[in-house]
Structures are given as structure tokens and as C-alpha cells.
Chains A and B, each alone.
Chain A
Amino acid sequence: MKFTLSWLKDHLETDASLAEIVERLTAIGLEVEHVDDKAGLKPFVIAKVLTAVQHQDADRLRVLTVDTGNGKPPVQVVCGAPNARAGMIGAFAAPGTYIPGIDVTLSVGKIRGVESHGMMCSERELELSDEHSGIIDLPEDAPVGTSFAAYAHLDDPVIEINLTPNRPDAASVYGIARDLAASGLGRLKTAPVEAIPGKGATPVKVTIEAPELCPGFALRLVRGVKNGPSPKWLQQRLIAIGLRPISALVDITNYVTFDRGRPLHVFDAKKVAGNLVVRRAKDGEKVRALDGREYTLTPEMCVIADDNGVESIAGIMGGEHSGCDENTTDVLIESALWDPITTARTGRALGIITDARYRFERGVDPEFMVPGVELATRLVLDFCGGTPSEIEAAGYAGHKPMVVSFPLSEVKRLTGIEVPKEEVLDILTRLGFEPQGSGEVVKVTVPSWRPDIDGKADLVEEVMRIHGVDNILAQPLTSHDAVNGKILTTLQVRTRAAKRALAVRGMMEAVTWSFIPAKHAELFGGGQTALKLANPIAADMSDMRPSLLPGLIAAAQRNADRGIGDVALFEVSGTYEGDAPEQQRRVAAGVRRGTAKLEGSGRSWAGNAGPVGVFDAKADAIAALEACGAPVDRLQIEPGGPAWYHPGRSGTIKLGPKTVLGTFGEFHPKTLDGLDASGPICGFEVFVDAVPEPKAKPTRTKPKLELSPFQAVKRDFAFVVDRTVEAGTLVRAALAADKKLVTGVSVFDVFEGASLGEAKKSIAIEVSIQPVEKTLTDEDFEALAKRIVENVNKQTGGVLRA
């Protein structure tokens, strides 16, 4: 919403400065977004070119003598404008003046040997327009020596406020003046709109066939008008707020729209055939609107039609056919009420944004429907002459005001400050509310221009914003025993821990899009209809991700394409198995690419990092699970993972037979092809939300530490097993051989060779043994070794290597 200072002062009697007005507007909720006060144009004066002669050394330059008025001697100016000539009047800048359009402060200078004491300016140099074909050429009667800005009506500051959608009343200069006056910054000029008696009934009748879309419609004919340009002052105001003056009749509708928040439409009465009817559009009905475009309508939209068909899209834009032009002699002025929701939907569906739609969809003042016609009539008569008919009004049953029961204590309850009762009532009254009653609860009648007010909290806001938000001083929030529980949920603690644990492993946290290309989603088991966006922002951001991996692999590839191929990325975030809340999973995932190993990447004098692989991913996955509090010693690793992994170089991490905690591995070549990515690359996913909740502990005391006084020892065993035997099985068998004495088993060598036999391999383990009751004798060791060998043999078929 834009307006000028002088326009505001049509309605507000005030001595306040521009700065005070701007500050107050923001303070009362009408946030000032921009002020264009053209202060920079103040130094420019109107000057007359006395003589213009060719520059002796430059074909395109002329040397002017310029009269800058006020009895000062003429000054010499070198000028390159082709239109500079003796006798012309233009805008002059003296040395020292800042020229905004070229960002230069003038000084006295010599141009091709001739001194120049100033500049005659073009519109572009003054940032008035892009016009730069010549200097400004003013009419002969322009007063030399006076302010150019004042002469050109550019000294009227333009204020733009960022209007919140709840304030249609402030979509008018009058409404803004009312708010400012209520806040004590002047007096609202409240002269009522003059009623103009008409001669005879309006010959065009109105039938409202869709009263649910049109609660009121007023119409008046003015015969014998002459539709020329509107007066200069009105044009200046429209230009100042960014509108193009068209003709007096059209400019009047725009003026009343901004002045009073009352959109109007004018029909050329001679082009209207028969009577008007307000109805729903027929399906597929077409209309060419004033913007010259043809729109196809639906029955959800409301139109004004005559015998010719649709003449106007209700509340949004008139039709081209019956629009007014310079030949219009009889004009029909329409002022109507339109259903806000229908107006909003129609405007959105047709993609039309107009000042009328803006106001109707927020809600105009129904009580100003008829005064709107009267005000427009006054202006039409003033500018164009003519004879008005009586106003034809249909449908309007009068405004039933909202009455709010308002306990005055609400102000203190919600804001925390005490505002005296008299002030509360005074603020409401100045805003146009009518409080009644003398007790602690008053009945407040809401003015017709405030459709946003429907409860006592709204009235508190009115009091607060006019009383001044700055008057509310901060008061500490007292601590509340009942809310001092856990700050983070287990899932949040685990999410945080997983992030830190993976970052500590040299990985970088990425945040990738929740929506990915359909093709990528399908590769990772997604792509179902319920998870497809109906209106994606781009075709490749269409499907909610079933996995974090496609986004991470693509991100790693982007880095590789930038020349950084060794990257380790992770993300801990949501994936989507369906559109229900419980189908949003919390997943920690990561990828390593190139040689981005835990210990570092690339070549080094101390040893080069090799390509990443399944075991890097496995280590990351287990580290993430450990950080999430999963019982790492009870995890089972099953060979193979989902289809997007390399079938022989992937695994699934389980806890018990049913709970899948994660997957890891290298990727299937087809997966990488589908993602336009290349390896070496590995990755993992860990389901943070699948890790069982920790058991509630009655105490934080740790179990007592039992330290054996006996020396721990290590023994090596090498077994020959079938190639298909999993090392994990063998390790478990060794561990299980004596749960008391065997405290750890590590695999230190695995190899295959012809010497071992067909399809055999050797697995060498180191067994850690911790005696607990006594030092073990040779016989004890023998017996233990025997148990280990036997159990391994039983579980894997392996035999001790000779």
C-alpha cells in the first residue's frame, strides 16, 4: 500500500514530521517498508537557456548561458544534449550538487577547454525515468529560479507500508489517517461523503442471482460526461504510487480505491445491452478483460453479465467490451460487495492480481458501498460533468455489527501491563469502536471496516498497538516445577550423538533435499504415489526420499565433479516410508568416496590410503549405532543388503531375528549408473529410531569393577574352514567355548591358497584369556584350547591348521 504525504494530510490534520509519521506507522503495526521522499531533488532549480552556441572543439557539444533566476548572473554550461536550445527551460544543477542518476557530485570543470559551471539534466540523471535522449524540456511558463521538484510535484514523499492481510481498512489512505489519529499523531478529518441527488431512476436494473457471492450491489448512471484526462493533481498522485493515469473516469475508480479502500468499476453505459445480472459464470464461458487477455471461467467464479454476456469478473477486473474510453458519454458507476473467498480463489485461478481483488479478498467496508458511489459521482461531476441518476441498490441488507464482550482485565492478562480503563475506552473509540457499559466488562461494537475483529484478544491487540508495545517491559518467566523434565527425548539425544560420532570419524554433515528425483527414489525402494508431490518446485525434486543414500551419493558425485573425489559425507535426518507421521523414520547415513578413509585420504609418505570399501561402511555403521546406544556386542551381521547394494559386499545389521538396525556396503553398479555416479564408493544407513529404548535405571551407580589379579594371556589359533564359512560364526564359536575365561577374539589373518585344499580358507584368531580364580596351569590351557578347537569345529567344521 502506497500513498503520498500530502494525500495523507487530506485526511489527517497534523504537524508531525515525515520521520515521526513513519516511525509511528511502524510502531502501530503499519510497517513502513520504504519512504521515497525525493530529498535528493531539492537542489535542482528551474533555469532558462539564454544562448546556445556550438562548442568550438566538439561537434556534439554546445556552450550555453543559463539564467538560474533570483537575479543571479547567467552561468556558462557545456551541454551535450541534442535538444538544448536558446529559450528552453529545464532543470539545472549547480556545482556541488549530487546527481543521483549518474552517481556524481558536480564540480566546476573544463570540457574540451571550455569551463562548465553546472549541468542541465535529463530525466534519467534525476532518476525520474529512463529518458536520456535530451535534457528536461519544461513549458514556457515554468517559474525560473524555483524548485524543480516542487514544480514537478516531486516534493511529495511517497510512503509504502507492508500491510498485513488482516487490515483491509488500512488499504486506504483514510484508514491509515484514522489509525495515526487514534495513536495521537493528529486529528482525523471526518467530513461525511456528500450525498448527491439523482434525477430519475437508473435505467439499467440489477438482478443478483448469486446472493451468496454478492451481498450488495449499487449502480448509478451519469449521462453526458466528457471523459478527458483527469486533473494534474490526481494524475500526480496516481503516478507517485505507481499507477498510470488513463482517463478521468478510470482514474477516479483508482483514486477512490486507494483513498477509501473502495474499489469501483465503470461501464460505458452505451455498450451495456439490457440489464445487469450478477451470477456464477457458465463452465467454459470466456471474457476478454481490461488487460486485453481472454480468460476462461468456471461456475465457481462470479461475473456481472448483460445481454451480450460477461462484462466483468466480479471484484477482480472489468471486461474490455464495456470499458470506458475517451468516447464515453454515459457512465455506469458500480460499487458492490463480493465474497472474499470466491474473489481470492477466482483471482488465484485466473492469475490476476489487481488492487480491487486485494481489497475484496480481505474484506471491504460494506457500509461504504453507497458512499463510494456518491464520492465517485462527485468526482465525475467535477471532472467530466454530466447528470446523475438515482442510485440503484440491490441485495444489501445492511451491516450487522459484531459485538464483543470485553472484560477490561484481558489487557493485563494477555500483555502483562495495566492500561487505565479510560485510556482503553478512549483508544477503542478513536479507532471507531463503540464501547458500552461502565462495569469491568464492556460491550464493544466493532466498526464495519474491521472484519478482522472477532474476539477479545483482537481488542487487546488494538489497545496494545495504540498504547505502545514499547510500554510493555520484559518480565522474567518464573521457573515451573511441572515442566522441568527431560530437555531432549531419547531420539533427539541419539540423533545428536550420531552426528557427533560420525563427524569425529572425519565425515562432514550434509543437509540434502527431502525430495529427490522419482528415478532416484525408485532405485531405493521409493516412488509410491502417496509420496509424490503434486506441485514440485522442479521435476527432479518430486518424490519424498525413501533413503538418505541417493542424496548423499549425488552430493559426493557433485564434489567429485568439482575435482574433490575423496569425500566422506553423512546426514542424520528423516526418510519417508509413507505419509503417516509414524512412517517418517530417523536415519543416520553416510557415504565415503574415493580414498576417504577414517585415517585420511590420498597419498602420503607414510602410506597411501586405499580405495574405500564395505568394511569402511561397516565401521561407520557400527560407530553410529554405538553412539545411539545400541548393544554393539549383541549385533548380528547378515551377509547381503537391499537391492541397491553390491550383493556380495554388503551386510545387514540386526538385533534379534526381526529388528533391522542398519545396512552397509558397496553399491550395485546399476545403482551408481542410475544416479550418474561413480566409485569407489560405499555407504551405510542406520535406523536411529529402531534402536531399543534404554531400560529405565533406578540408579546411576555403575556396576562394581572386578579386576583379576592374574596375568592375562593371549593364544593364537589358525583354522582351516570351508570358504563359505563366515568369520563371524567362527569368532562367536571361540568366544562361546568358555564364557568366563575367553574375554576377546580377534581375527588377525584370513587367506586362501592351494595348500589348504579346494574351496578352503584359513582364519587365524587371537584369543584373549583372563584367568579369574587362579593362574592357569599348562593343563588348564590345554583343556581350554581343546574346548575352543572343539567348539569351532562343531560350529564351522573347521580344523586346527597343521
Chain B
Amino acid sequence: MGAVRPNEESFAVNATAGNLEALEASLLAEIAAASDEAAIEAVRVSALGKKGSVSEMLKTLGAMSAEERQVKGPAINGLKNRVTEALTQRKAELKDVAIAARLAAEKVDVTLPVRQSPAERGRIHPISQVIDEIAAIFGDLGFSIAEGPDIETDHYNFTALNFPEGHPAREMHDTFFFQPDEKGERKLLRTHTSPVQIRTMERQKPPIRIVIPGKTYRQDSDATHSPMFHQVEGLVIDKTANIANMKWVLEEFCKAFFEVPSVKMRFRPSFFPFTEPSLEVDIQCDRSRPGEVRFGEGSDWMEILGCGMVHPNVLRYGGLDPDEYQGFAWGMGIDRIAMLKYGMPDLRAFFDADVRWLTHYGFRPLDLPTLFGGLST
């Protein structure tokens, strides 16, 4: 700010001490009385504007003697500072009041509900979730995921898997057939995921480590059987893979899948046309609590999968020499292990798309099964 020049013309104000006091008192009163920003501005102009009362006082300083100025100067400037400060303070007060009033007016009822996020509303079907869990576990063990067609030939579904023509094991499969074609060949709906074993062997030389999830079909329907269901199959072929390795893989899987630190498994000799030796596997569990199964504890056994060393004939059908290559395979029901792990009572509900069931048993879209984050949360 530049020096204030004396204004000879308007030298009408007499800056006596009494005047100053009266002016200050009146101005401060006006400031205090100002109820909005416009009123404050009016006071400011009347005091500090070009022709304002305080400004006029200041102008008288120029005409004073040095001695007088020495006395009056600080008094007038003091007045000016105090008025300015009062103005600033009142202005801030008024602003706070205005904001408070606006905020009060803007108040809403925050208990009003908001819409749920779509990501919380959507659901992943338990079958997809369990397939992702399986992929996470076996991916970590060095397996890749293979798939194959639902509509198969007799060759891939039976013959190449060492089901002899007319063998009772073939009949036990309750196969869905299509109408025969001109050549009399009839396609079928695969009764297991095992045809993919052959398709993979035809395409890829060992070492093979694959897991095959997919839809399978059998002409059977009740509370525990559905004409369409899901299986997951595993296949390991190299030059050394044996039953001891198979036990390890399956134990690792069961621990990881059921999310328990250890689990007892019972391997029983059994029969499947496509494996030799063949085994069925029971898993230790506790079923003493109604509607709940706990794994890794208890004294019950529950059958969960079949497995064995790939039958030499199956290796031959896949184009491999059974004296050079060997391996093991296993298969289990995805729906079944999903039901066991998550406690769904009825298989038929899997395919009904009842949104109440999906909401309850389904998984949130961002619940991605990972080994580092836990398969399920």
C-alpha cells in the first residue's frame, strides 16, 4: 500500500480523542449488528471506503504537525486496525452461520436404503466355483485343464477305454444314445469324462498331466442321480508315475480342496475297465452333526473317487506303448464333492436355476478361488 496523501479539501474531521472513541464504538456496534454479508460490506464501505469515516480520519494526518501526528497517527491507525479486524471476524462468523444453515437445510435421512451393488447381487454357480477351485489346486501341481465334447462315439466312450462289447460294466453306464446314422453307427452322450484321456493321448505325447472337468450324462434320475452331472478326471502319464504317486496327488488334492491340514484316506481295491490295478477311495469324515460333514476328523468313511493305473489296453488305444509309458487316472463327481464340501442336500436343485437357491449356495463374482487367498472365504 502506498503512502496516504493528505487531502486538503476534506479536512473537516477533527480527530480528537473523544471523536475517535465515539467513532470506534459506533462502528463496532454496527459490525456486531450486521446480520449478513451485505450489511458487513456496507459497514466496511462506510468506514474504510474512499469516503469512509475512518478513511476520512486518516486523511487528516497529512495536515498535522509532526508532533501531533506522532500522537494521533497511532490512535487513528489503531482504530482502523481494530475495525478491520472486527469486520474480518464478523464476516467469518457470518459465513460459518450461513454454512451451518445450509448444511442443516441439506440434511437427509441416511438410513434410507441404497441399492445393492450388482457385484454383490450376482452369483457364480457352485459347479463353476468348484471347477475353479480344482483348477487352482491342480494348476499348482503342474496340471493343465483339458476338455472334450459331450457328444461322443462308442469308440472314445467305451471301446478305447477297454470296455469289452457286451460286458456288464458297459451296461451299468445307462447310456443316452442318438439315432443311428446311415452307417448304423450311433453317437452317444459321454457317460464319463474319460474319453478325453484318449483324445489327449492322441494329440499330445507324454509327459501328460491333465485334469478334465465337464458334463457327463447317464439315464438315471433320483435324489442322488441326475441325467446330467459333472465329473472331473485326472490323468498322469510319463515313464515312472505309480500308485504311490497317485496316493500323494489325491491326498494333496483332498487336503487342499476340503481345506483341512490333514485327511485320512482309505484306498480299496476295486474295478474299472480302464484302470488296472483299480482302487476306490474313501475319505475320513464326521457325520455326527445333522446336515453337516466335517472332513479330516471323525470315524466315518465316505466314498469320493475311483482311480487306478491306466490299463495297458487304454495306453495302446491312445497310441502309447504300455511297456514304455505308464500312468494313473482318477475320476470323481464335481456335484458330489461340491455337495459334500458346501452341504447342499439335493442334486436336482443344481439344475433348477431357482434364484433363492443360487443366492444361498452360489458364490459372489469376486470370490475367486486362489491358493494364496484361500479357496473359499
B209/A483 in contact, CB under 8 A? yes
A475 contact set on B, CB distance < 8 A:
242, 244-245, 247-248
B270/A502 in contact, CB under 8 A? no
B171 contact set on A, CB distance < 8 A:
344, 348
- Of the stretches B31-39, B65-73, B88-96, B112-120, the one at the interface is B112-120
| B243 CB within 8 Å of chain A | yes
A341 contact set on B, CB distance < 8 A:
165-167
Q: How large is the interface on B (under 10, 10 to 19, 20 to 34, 35 or more residues)?
A: 35 or more
B207/A415 in contact, CB under 8 A? no
> Which residue from chain A places its CB closest to the CB of B282 in the assembled complex?
A26
| B249 CB within 8 Å of chain A | yes
Q: Which of A496-539 contact B (CB under 8 A)?
A: 496, 499-500, 502-515, 529-537
| B147 CB within 8 Å of chain A | yes
Closest CB of chain B to A325's CB: distance in Å?
33
Distance, CA A756 to CA B228, complexed state (A): 58
Q: Which of A344, A489, A581 has the most CB of B within 10 A?
A: A581
| Known contacts A469-B267, A600-B116, A605-B112; A479/B132 CB under 8 A | no
Distance, CA A137 to CA B36, complexed state (A): 111
| Known contacts A164-B270, A541-B227; A487/B178 CB under 8 A | no
| B257 CB within 8 Å of chain A | no
- Contacting A416 at CB < 8 Å: which of B121, B236, B243? B243
B326/A344 in contact, CB under 8 A? no
A472/B355 in contact, CB under 8 A? no
Distance, CA A737 to CA B243, complexed state (A): 69
A458 contact set on B, CB distance < 8 A:
276
B248/A474 in contact, CB under 8 A? yes
Q: Which of A151-182 contact B (CB under 8 A)?
A: 164-167
Give 1 or 0 for each of A461-487: 1 = CB within 8 Å of chain B CB.
Answer: 100110001101111110110111111
- Contacting A584 at CB < 8 Å: which of B143, B151, B350, B362? B151
| A142 CB within 8 Å of chain B | no
Q: Which of B163-219 contact A (CB under 8 A)?
A: 165-169, 171-172, 176-179, 181, 186-187, 189, 207-209, 215, 217, 219
A503/B116 in contact, CB under 8 A? no
Give 1 or 0 for each of B343-377: 1 = CB within 8 Å of chain A CB.
Answer: 00000001111111011001011101000000000
> Which residue from chain B places its CB closest to the CB of A492 in the assembled complex?
B145
- Contacting A457 at CB < 8 Å: which of B228, B312, B362, B365? B312
Distance, CA A362 to CA B170, complexed state (A): 12
A500/B178 in contact, CB under 8 A? no
Distance, CA A572 to CA B26, complexed state (A): 82
B244/A472 in contact, CB under 8 A? yes
B209 contact set on A, CB distance < 8 A:
480, 483
| Known contacts A599-B115, A605-B112; A477/B215 CB under 8 A | no
A167 contact set on B, CB distance < 8 A:
271
- Of the stretches A4-12, A281-289, A557-565, the one at the interface is A557-565
A496/B132 in contact, CB under 8 A? yes
| B123 CB within 8 Å of chain A | yes
Distance, CA A138 to CA B113, complexed state (A): 76
B271/A535 in contact, CB under 8 A? no
| B62 CB within 8 Å of chain A | no
- Contacting B142 at CB < 8 Å: which of A480, A530, A558? A480
Closest CB of chain B to A425's CB: distance in Å?
18
Distance, CA A31 to CA B306, complexed state (A): 13
B238 contact set on A, CB distance < 8 A:
480
* B interface residues, Cβ below 8 angstroms from A: 112-116, 118-119, 121-125, 127-128, 132, 135, 139, 141-145, 147-151, 165-169, 171-172, 176-179, 181, 186-187, 189, 207-209, 215, 217, 219-221, 227-228, 236, 238, 241-245, 247-249, 251, 267-271, 276-280, 309, 311-312, 326, 350-356, 358-359, 362, 364-366, 368
| 19 other A-B residue contacts (CB within 8 Å) besides A344-B166, A503-B122, A606-B112 | A29-B271, A167-B271, A413-B326, A492-B145, A492-B147, A499-B128, A504-B365, A506-B118, A509-B123, A509-B128, A511-B351, A514-B215, A530-B181, A537-B176, A537-B220, A544-B151, A562-B354, A581-B151, A606-B114
Q: What are some 14 contacts across the A-B interface (CB < 8 A)?
A: A27-B269, A341-B165, A341-B167, A457-B277, A465-B277, A474-B245, A483-B143, A483-B209, A505-B118, A509-B125, A530-B178, A532-B178, A533-B177, A579-B178
Which 4 interchain pairs have the tightest Cβ spacing? A416-B244, A29-B269, A341-B166, A506-B118
